[in-house]
Amino acid sequence: MKIAFFGTGLMGSGFVRRLLANGHEVNVWNRSPAKARALEAEGAKAFDDPAAALVGAERIHLSLSDDASVDAVLEPMAAGISAAVWIVDHTTTAVTPTAERVARWAGRGKTFVHAPVFMGPANAQDGTGLMILSGAAAHHEALLPALQRMTGKVVYLGEAPERAAAFKLFGNMTLIGMMGVLGDVNRLAHSVGISTTDAFSLFKHFNPGQFLPARADKIAAGDFSAPSFEVSMARKDVRLMIEQAQRGGVDLFVMPGVAAMYDAAIARGEGALDSAAAARIPT
């Protein structure tokens, strides 16, 4: 199959290499032309104009930066994309614009599928990692064999076309939140004279991630009446973290927001409940 691939940054380049390894002919375009031309040595054909890269393509893939970049590339070519050419977008985009985008292309009689990924560039090149998608079940079924050859696992999230965008943000929020917490651990360590390496050696023995599924299940179940760690005690510990860092002349970034979450739960009268109660949405 001839594929037009728009966006050849770190992830896009990995995907292009994978598609080439799978035997496809791949036309590539990138806003920075040198990044597209670098793939010509590996068998891709680079174009300075995305419309030129589209000629003869049977499917379009995108790996761009955001909603605006997806629309900036595709909208000028809308009339030139035939109904037979499906658009598969791997870009991390927001939920509402994704729903609007799928509807807009459907109104033109054309198929747009959002299929974001959880993987790094090496995974994209090796065909490992996780790809998620949502939308019409028939679209999922038709694309599945091709997408499975691009990634290690494909998860279908249902008919609502914007669900994959939401779940991608859920996952990235968790990953980015972890970095924020590690940043605060690093700052607290600095405030008490412990090196980053020494502080982080804790995680060779203690894996907080193993508790995430159980905590998530607790929040989803909504039963906080049998606490293993009370809201009030968690709030106390957060206070100790913030105060100790300040004694060392350091401000934490993430923990003040967590403190506000616990304060709201205590204000609701939930101080004696399990600390997971602070994460619920009050009704």
Of 138, 158, 178, the one marking the end of a domain is 158
Q: Decide if pLDDT at 213 tops 90.
A: yes
Question: In DSSP terms, which residues pair with 132 in a beta bridge?
Answer: 155
Residues 69 and 100 in one domain: yes
pLDDT score at 152:
86
Tokens of 76: 């000028």
Q: Collect all residues with Cβ–Cβ distance below 8 Å to 90 and sequence separation of at least 6.
A: 11, 15, 61, 62, 63, 115, 116, 117, 131
pLDDT tens figures, 32-57? 999 999 999 999 999 999 999 999 99
Contact status, residue 21 vs residue 150, Cβ threshold 8 Å: no
CA 13/CA 35 separation, integer angstroms: 8
Using pLDDT thresholds of 50, 70 and 90, give the confidence band for residue 142.
very high
Q: Decide if pLDDT at 283 tops 90.
A: no
Residues 221 and 136 in one domain: no
Q: Decide if pLDDT at 103 tops 90.
A: yes
Contact status, residue 219 vs residue 213, Cβ threshold 8 Å: no
Q: Which domain holds residue 251?
A: 167-279
Residues 42 and 180 in one domain: no
Q: Mean pLDDT over all residues of the chain? A: 97
Contact status, residue 188 vs residue 250, Cβ threshold 8 Å: yes
pLDDT score at 132:
98
Kindly report the backbone phi and psi dihedral angles of residue 59, in degrees, each rounded to the nearest multiple of 5, phi listed first. -155, 150
Q: Decide if pLDDT at 87 tops 90.
A: yes
pLDDT tens figures, 154-181? 999 999 999 999 999 999 999 999 999 9
Residues 148 and 260 in one domain: no
Whether the full predicted model's pTM is greater than 0.85, yes or no, is yes
Counted domains in the chain: 2
What CATH number corresponds to the domain at position 24?
A: 3.40.50.720
